[in-house]
């Protein structure tokens, strides 16, 4: 988890990430809900370098970067 | 509403009413329209015919938050095109408080002559000798000037790079704390200021002759609503105060679009060590400031104070683009070294982006190994020392590529790209190619479209339209003095309405939603017209060849947008 999300949850280690178990067929939005991140937070997920939609199903063992939406710097 | 005309040849200063043709313009709109109308397009950028224009935004100096951007414009010695570069800090508000719409600097001082333009609390202007400050770096200079003119002084200044008239020289400006750590970095405008013989502009911040607000009650209400919209936006209200712009390092590396090792890879090995999250942790542990107010009237507080292991100040503010240019492009993953390089650039008066990319090109050509921080620091110090290679480096990446006969030089019209690879974010490539001022991310950054899922960053489809729309929007924002980072609140209904209401209350106008893009289009037309007269054609609106031929890992894509599509970007 990155951005201000990395400060959420005592179990999250920013360096190594967090292992999360979710049911088979779970989607990105299910993962975000499991992490306690509301839709209003504007979270974005990247899997293997590609931004994925909230409806995207996740495969077993996927490494997901949970990011905050950014607009420029 | 007045212009301060400064003639460096005659050593004269004179106030005049704003000419009718320029009424209603501010910031980039004003600098670009004046340059297009008054600067001979084929003139020597470092000669007397060029003009350096310093213009606060339309709303600078009002109580509206985050309107402290000051635009600097001239014909650029780096690109040969028209150029606007804007900076935060305290100068825009100081000029606004005095009702100064623009400072127009013309002519050229006799060789070796160096001056300071001083504007006091009453708005009286004078040129005073700066011979005692010759060759001085910006931190020492700012300290001296604040001692001389008082701590309520806003400063614009150049360092040794500007005096040497190097094409990557910046104009530095002071932050709230009087440190010259804010920069109008791009386009070599520091060299233009140096060529004029102007070392600094010092302006008293306590002026009380601001232009009137047409409807102060409506303005006050709109200003309150706009501040709330900025604070309510997740980007400007949460992310930026926590991590600053360095919060972009994780998303852009996660997308494989972070140009690394001189744009040969899209992910920096060990990027986690230089991320915004890592930086915030280091700063907190050492007792620095992760959240800091850098600019007048700011409610975002994206700035930071990076300190060393003993808690001693190293630099402010360590930003995304600098961490990229001095870290990603060079392969340096030591934040302390990157902070040192940032400080050096501010102190010498160099654009951190052009300089970092110039170092990366030198490394790629074999002058040093990627990741060698000591070599990078030596190269940047060489600029201030005025060595032969220092002069090559201080003239930017294209100069280094030519000197070392190296082909992989990521520039457009001579100016380096920014921290988004055009092969991993195709729309940003369109902006780099077509922006009238050379490769420039602030002119039209499309990253929000990708993260929002509106556009696939790796395909050509839709990229031209996305770039066009953001370039128009940013050209308009740059007229107002509004900070880019706060401007994303304009995309919310509350923020957009409040900002329009503030504009109308300030000027007694009836701007509607279409008025903002119209303003942007007017600016872009003026800029492109100047470039055409200077000899630029569509063929100059292209990326370097290697972006079309060398696939970028991890997605292994090249730049896919065709020339015909690029040429349709400004079809208005």
Mutation choice for A interface testing from B444, B451, B470 by most A CBs within 10 A: B451
Positive or negative, the CA dihedral B52, B54, B57, B59 is: negative
pLDDT tens-digit series, residues B374-394:
999 999 999 999 999 999 999
State how far the Cα of B391 lies from the Cα of B475, in Å rounded to an integer: 32
Contact list, B442 vs chain A (CB under 8 Å): 72
Contact list, A15 vs chain B (CB under 8 Å): 272
Question: How many Cβ atoms are within 10 Å of B48's Cβ, its own excluded?
Answer: 16
ipTM surpassing 0.90 = yes
CATH number, residue B173: 3.60.9.10
State how far the Cα of B393 lies from the Cα of B414, in Å rounded to an integer: 13
Are B567 and B538 in contact by the 8 Å Cβ rule? The answer is yes
For residue B246, give the chain A residue with the closest CA.
Answer: A73
Peptide bond into B45 cis (omega under 30): no
Of B254, B419, B448, the CB nearest to A46: B254
Q: Do A49 and B442 touch (CB under 8 A)?
A: no
Q: Return all residues near B468 (Cβ < 8 A) that are at least 6 apart.
A: B444, B569, B570
Contact list, B248 vs chain A (CB under 8 Å): 70, 72-73
* Position B220 in a domain: no
- Encode B199-209: b = buried (16+ Cβ within 10 Å), e = exposed: bbbbbbbebee
* Position A73 in a domain: no
Provide the token pair at B381. Answer: 């110090």
* Position A45 in a domain: yes
Q: How is residue B368 annotated by DSSP?
A: S
pLDDT tens-digit series, residues B548-563:
999 999 999 999 999 9
Are B1 and B101 in contact by the 8 Å Cβ rule? The answer is yes
Check if B232 contacts A (Cβ < 8 Å): no
pTM over 0.95: yes
Of B247, B255, B484, the CB nearest to A46: B255
* Position B168 in a domain: yes
Question: Where in the sequence is the domain holding B142, given as residue range(s)?
Answer: 2-204
Peptide bond into B554 cis (omega under 30): yes
Of B254, B267, B319, the CB nearest to A67: B254
Residue B67 has pLDDT above 90, yes or no: yes
Confidence tier at A8 by pLDDT (50, 70, 90): low
* Position B54 in a domain: yes
Check if B442 contacts A (Cβ < 8 Å): yes
Question: Where in the sequence is the domain holding A17, given as residue range(s)?
Answer: 3-68
Q: Do B251 and A46 touch (CB under 8 A)?
A: yes
Least Cα separation, residue B16 to chain A (angstroms): 37
Q: How many CB contacts within 8 angstroms connect chain A with chain B?
A: 95
For residue B235, give the chain A residue with the closest CA.
Answer: A70
* Position B332 in a domain: no
Q: Return all residues near B378 (Cβ < 8 A) that are at least 6 apart.
A: none
Query: Considering its fold, how many domains does chain A have in total?
Result: 1
Contact list, B245 vs chain A (CB under 8 Å): 73
Q: Do A67 and B321 touch (CB under 8 A)?
A: no
Check if B484 contacts A (Cβ < 8 Å): yes
| pLDDT number for residue A40 | 82
Confidence tier at A71 by pLDDT (50, 70, 90): confident
* Position B395 in a domain: no
Check if B457 contacts A (Cβ < 8 Å): yes
Are B352 and B345 in contact by the 8 Å Cβ rule? The answer is yes
For residue A49, give the chain B residue with the closest CA.
Answer: B255
Q: Do B243 and A49 touch (CB under 8 A)?
A: no
Q: Do B451 and A69 touch (CB under 8 A)?
A: yes
- Expressed in percent and rounded to 5, the helix, strand and coil fractions of chain B are 45, 15, 40
Q: How far apart are the first and last CA of chain B?
A: 31
Q: What angle do CA B387, B389, B395 make, to 5 degrees?
A: 105
Contact list, B488 vs chain A (CB under 8 Å): 71-72
By three-state DSSP, how is residue B485 classified?
helix
* Position B425 in a domain: no
| pLDDT number for residue B96 | 98
> Which residues are paired to A51 by β-bridges?
A46
Query: Considering its fold, how many domains does chain B have in total?
Result: 1
* Position B113 in a domain: yes
State how far the Cα of B127 lies from the Cα of B102, in Å rounded to an integer: 16
* Position A51 in a domain: yes
Provide the token pair at B175. Answer: 């932050």
By three-state DSSP, how is residue B471 classified?
helix
State how far the Cα of A45 lies from the Cα of B451, in Å rounded to an integer: 9
pLDDT tens-digit series, residues B476-489:
999 999 999 999 99
Confidence tier at B178 by pLDDT (50, 70, 90): very high
pLDDT tens-digit series, residues A12-45:
777 788 889 999 999 999 999 999 998 888 899 9
Provide the token pair at B391. Answer: 């002069």
CATH number, residue A64: 3.10.20.30
Mean pLDDT in residue range B312-335 = 98
Residue B528 has pLDDT above 80, yes or no: yes
| Cα–Cα distance list, B62 to B182, B470, B552 (Å) | 21, 26, 46
* Position B67 in a domain: yes
By three-state DSSP, how is residue B324 classified?
helix
Question: How many Cβ atoms are within 10 Å of B11's Cβ, its own excluded?
Answer: 15
């Amino acid at each position: 988890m990155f951005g201000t999300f990395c400060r959420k949850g005592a179990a999250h280690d920013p360096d190594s990430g967090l292992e999360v178990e979710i049911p088979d067929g779970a989607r990105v939005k299910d993962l975000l809900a499991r992490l306690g991140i509301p839709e209003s937070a504007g979270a974005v997920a990247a899997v293997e370098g590609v931004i994925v939609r909230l409806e995207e199903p996740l495969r077993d063992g996927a490494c997901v970067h949970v990011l905050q939406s950014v607009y420029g710097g | 509403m007045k212009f301060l005309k400064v003639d460096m040849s005659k050593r004269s200063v004179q106030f005049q009413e704003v000419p009718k043709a320029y009424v209603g313009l501010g910031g980039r709109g004003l600098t670009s329209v004046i340059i297009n109308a008054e600067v001979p397009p084929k003139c020597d950028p470092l000669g007397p015919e060029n003009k350096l224009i310093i213009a606060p935004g339309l709303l600078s100096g009002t109580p509206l938050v985050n309107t402290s951007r000051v635009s600097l414009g001239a014909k650029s010695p780096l690109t040969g095109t028209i150029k606007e570069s804007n900076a935060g800090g305290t100068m825009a508000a100081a000029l606004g408080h005095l009702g100064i719409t623009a400072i127009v600097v013309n002519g050229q001082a006799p060789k070796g002559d160096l001056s300071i333009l001083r504007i006091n609390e009453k708005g009286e202007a004078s040129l005073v000798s700066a011979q005692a400050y010759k060759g001085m770096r910006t931190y020492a200079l700012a300290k001296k000037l604040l001692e001389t003119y008082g701590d309520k002084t806003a400063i614009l200044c150049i360092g040794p790079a500007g005096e040497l008239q190097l094409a990557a020289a910046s104009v530095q400006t002071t932050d709230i704390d009087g440190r010259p750590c804010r920069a109008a970095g791009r386009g070599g405008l520091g060299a233009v200021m140096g060529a004029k013989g102007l070392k600094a502009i010092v302006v008293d911040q306590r002026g009380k002759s601001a232009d009137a607000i047409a409807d102060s009650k409506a303005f006050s209400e709109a200003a309150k609503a706009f501040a709330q919209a900025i604070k309510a936006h997740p980007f400007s209200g949460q992310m930026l105060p926590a991590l600053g712009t360095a919060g972009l390092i994780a998303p852009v590396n996660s997308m494989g679009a972070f140009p690394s090792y001189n744009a040969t890879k899209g992910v920096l090995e060990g990027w986690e060590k230089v991320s915004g999250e890592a930086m915030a942790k280091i700063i907190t542990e050492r007792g620095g400031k992760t959240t800091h107010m850098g600019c007048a009237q700011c409610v975002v507080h994206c700035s930071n104070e990076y300190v060393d292991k003993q808690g001693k100040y190293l630099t402010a503010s360590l930003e995304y683009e600098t961490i990229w240019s001095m870290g990603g492009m060079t392969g340096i993953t030591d934040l302390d070294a990157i902070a040192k390089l940032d400080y050096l650039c501010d102190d010498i008066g160099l654009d951190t982006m052009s300089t970092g990319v110039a170092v990366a090109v030198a490394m790629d050509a074999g002058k040093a190994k990627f990741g060698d921080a000591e070599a990078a620091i030596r190269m940047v110090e060489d600029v201030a020392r005025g060595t032969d290679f220092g002069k090559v480096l201080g003239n930017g990446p294209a100069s280094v590529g030519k000197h070392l006969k190296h082909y992989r030089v990521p520039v457009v019209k001579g100016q380096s790209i920014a921290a988004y690879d055009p092969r991993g974010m195709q729309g940003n490539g369109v902006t780099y190619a077509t922006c009238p001022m050379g490769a420039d991310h602030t002119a039209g950054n499309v990253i929000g479209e990708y993260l929002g899922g509106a556009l696939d960053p790796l395909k050509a489809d839709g990229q031209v339209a996305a770039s066009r729309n953001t370039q128009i929007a940013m050209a308009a924002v740059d007229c107002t003095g509004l900070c880019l980072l706060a401007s994303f609140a304009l995309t919310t209904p509350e923020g957009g309405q409040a900002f329009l209401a503030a504009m109308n209350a300030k000027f007694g106008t009836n701007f509607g939603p279409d008025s903002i893009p119209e303003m942007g289009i007017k600016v872009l037309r003026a800029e492109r017209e100047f470039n055409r007269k200077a000899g630029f054609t569509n063929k100059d609106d292209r990326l370097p060849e290697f972006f079309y031929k060398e696939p970028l890992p991890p997605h292994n894509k090249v730049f896919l947008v065709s020339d015909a599509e690029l040429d349709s970007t400004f079809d208005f």
